[in-house]
Structure 1
Amino acid sequence: MSDASAATLRLRVAIPHFFREVEGGSGYGSGRPGQRMARSLALARCLCSLLALRRSRSDAVLHIGDRCIEHWPAQGDRLQRFTALEPEIHLFSDGTHQLNDVLGLFADRIESHTVALDNPRHLPLAARDWLIQSADGADLLLYLEDDLVISDPLFIDKQFWFLERTQHQLVLMPHRIEPTTQAAEARLLVDGPLRPEFLQQFCTPQEQVLRGRFDPDAAEVSFDISSNPHAGCFLISNQQARILQGRTLPQDGFVGPLETAATLTVLAHFPVLKASRLHQRFLQIEHGHPSFLSYLNTFPHR
């Protein structure tokens, strides 16, 4: 994108989707009994949030009096890095264990792929592989678990700015949050520090390794080599995808296949950063099917 402000940014998204209620639970939200409604809401919110990222140079206005459609210039945010954005959403499932009621609502706005696998736990890896091998025609590529919700309208602008600022050498992860309603704190950041003996296999955390000013009228934002690089997603540029196409992508090694696809895919090849503690709201993503809030009542506070 030589002139980003005037160009249309093409965002390609891959989402692995699986839902099957298992007696006793599977350890993941996609398998816990009695969670069909909650999981449906999370998937619908995930897809809606992606579609809401779309931008055009003009908006359509329904002129009721003249029974016609007028066109007004779209009003953008001064911090937008591009005026038009086209998300292209691809959802991957086994064709059977899926939330058809939700998918039917979005059938004309997403592209569904059926993947035949002996082990459905490998579905995230299949979605990731497709995304990286299908970089042609896309500026940015986003891998996203099916219960994550993007509420920040500048989420993609911030990622684009970071990639340009770091010459496509690093990857920026958001802080994953769960809003709370009963705790004193308004939100729980669910990806806190991992055990050092586990993390040292992959990286060495370091605070404030990078600073930059996304908003020219605001303070600089600092970034850390994170003590927990996981966020259930990753976003890379076309250039980075080209690099990964020539590399061997991990099949396991970071908890399980789900976490490996979302995290180790990039962590094995690029330094992974998150916004520092004082700037953690710079880039956040919501875990739309809360799974960690109970720890507020069972873990000691300090």
Structure 2
Amino acid sequence: MRILFTIPHYFNPSDRGKHGSQGKDPQPRIEAIAACITSLHRVFGKSQNSIDIARGAALPANQSQAHSIDIVICTTKDSHLLDRVPLPSHFYKHYRSKSEPQLLGFECQALLRDCIGSYEYFCYMEDDLILHDPWFFVKLQWFSNKAGDMCLLQPNRYEISSFEGNQKTYIDGNLAPQLTAKFQNLQEQPELAGQIMGTQVTFSRATNPHAGCYFLNVSQINHWTKQPYFLDRDTSFISPLESAATLGIMRAFRVYKPTPQNANFLEIEHFGSVWSERMLAM
């Protein structure tokens, strides 16, 4: 399978910065984007082997789930850290834009649209997200086959924190329904369920559909890009960052997430522990 990942990346230190992309120390951002890119190659790339000791050879492994992946990092002007990321240049492609920093997610949307016909999955990820699950796209395909392409499954985003022990915390909690009421009807098919490997899994309409990412199959990207609001650069959902990542898909699809009892069915790690430690300390 051919998969396209688009990743907005920005860094410009600021005394008033609220996000990691504006922090004074660039090292966490370097580590975050390096982990983001490396994980995609490790988990989904074709360079996976198994050592055959008897034959003294390395044999291909996991080829049924190895994919052809392209990673495009979208930046604006010179406000980035790619020249300091310790990765081979062939691990990704660099797309330079003149976009406003908070609107880089919309540049990624345009890239995805322009590549229709060349891939089977079209993905957007913020530059501090890390995928660990090799069955991630298998699960997405299973969900789409069961629920239909107008239902979009989003992963639960989590952090690992050392706060009072090694804790795993899902950070995108429920929002007040009125915050998304103008964009989605949560009463329409509020819950779905299915059996996988003999285990019941449940999914609910997401009061907080934001996960800093989305993963669309061919049918879904075609549907979204044909909508009159596609690439309208509407920033009315929380902030420009959340709007670029989430508003479009929330308007185009019924968005679901795995329920808390099986939250790890589909999940993605958020680099660091800033949000979880802030919430756990409350």
Equivalent residue for 2:96? 114
Query: Using a 3 Å threshold, how does the CA distance of structure 1 residues 293 and 56 change in structure 2: closer, same or farther?
Result: closer
Tell me the amino acid that sits aligned with residue 168 of structure 2.
Answer: R
Q: Secondary structure at the match of 2:67?
A: strand
Tell me the amino acid that sits aligned with residue 42 of structure 1.
Answer: A
Question: What's the offset of the Cα at 1:62?
Answer: 9.6
Superposed, 1:74-85 pairs within 5 Å as 74-75=61-62, 82-85=64-67
Which one of 193, 218, 223 corresponds to residue 211 of structure 1?
Answer: 193
Q: Secondary structure at the match of 1:105?
A: coil
Distance 1:245 1:226 in 2: 22
Query: Using a 3 Å threshold, how does the CA distance of structure 1 residues 269 and 151 change in structure 2: closer, same or farther?
Result: same
Alignment check: 8 A CA contact 2:192 2:202 kept: yes
Tell me the amino acid that sits aligned with residue 72 of structure 1.
Answer: L
Alignment check: 8 A CA contact 1:53 1:87 kept: no
Equivalent residue for 1:164? 145
Question: What's the offset of the Cα at 1:29?
Answer: 1.5
Equivalent residue for 2:24? 33
Distance 1:286 1:150 in 2: 6
Percentage identity across aligned positions?
A: 26
Which one of 42, 62, 82 corresponds to residue 52 of structure 1?
Answer: 42
Equivalent residue for 1:294? 277
Equivalent residue for 1:14? 6
Superposed, 1:115-264 pairs within 5 Å as 115-117=97-99, 119-183=100-164, 186-205=167-186, 209-214=191-196, 216=197, 218-247=198-227, 248-249=229-230, 250-251=232-233, 252-264=235-247
Structure 1, unaligned stretches of length 5 or more?
A: 1-8, 77-81
Alignment check: 8 A CA contact 1:53 1:85 kept: no
Equivalent residue for 1:266? 249
Tell me the amino acid that sits aligned with residue 34 of structure 2.
Answer: A
More helix as a share of residues: 2
Distance 1:22 1:297 in 2: 26
Distance 1:164 1:148 in 2: 26
Distance 2:62 2:73 in 1: 30
Structure 2, unaligned stretches of length 5 or more?
A: none
Question: What's the offset of the Cα at 1:137?
Answer: 1.5
Which one of 15, 18, 23 corresponds to residue 23 of structure 1?
Answer: 15
Question: What's the offset of the Cα at 1:132?
Answer: 2.7
Distance 2:94 2:52 in 1: 32
Distance 1:271 1:297 in 2: 30
Which one of 77, 81, 84 corresponds to residue 99 of structure 1?
Answer: 81
Question: What's the offset of the Cα at 1:258?
Answer: 1.6
Alignment check: 8 A CA contact 2:163 2:277 kept: no
Tell me the amino acid that sits aligned with residue 265 of structure 2.
Answer: F
Query: Using a 3 Å threshold, how does the CA distance of structure 1 residues 185 and 105 change in structure 2: closer, same or farther?
Result: closer
Alignment check: 8 A CA contact 1:125 1:258 kept: no
Alignment check: 8 A CA contact 1:13 1:88 kept: yes
Tell me the amino acid that sits aligned with residue 173 of structure 1.
Answer: Q
Question: What's the offset of the Cα at 1:227?
Answer: 1.7
Distance 2:20 2:221 in 1: 29
Tell me the amino acid that sits aligned with residue 222 of structure 2.
Answer: R
Question: What's the offset of the Cα at 1:220?
Answer: 1.8
Tell me the amino acid that sits aligned with residue 260 of structure 2.
Answer: R
Distance 1:221 1:232 in 2: 23
- Number of corresponding residues: 277
Which one of 11, 32, 47 corresponds to residue 42 of structure 1?
Answer: 32
Query: Using a 3 Å threshold, how does the CA distance of structure 1 residues 132 and 212 change in structure 2: closer, same or farther?
Result: farther
TM-score, length basis structure 2: 0.89
Query: Using a 3 Å threshold, how does the CA distance of structure 1 residues 22 and 73 change in structure 2: closer, same or farther?
Result: closer
Distance 2:167 2:255 in 1: 27
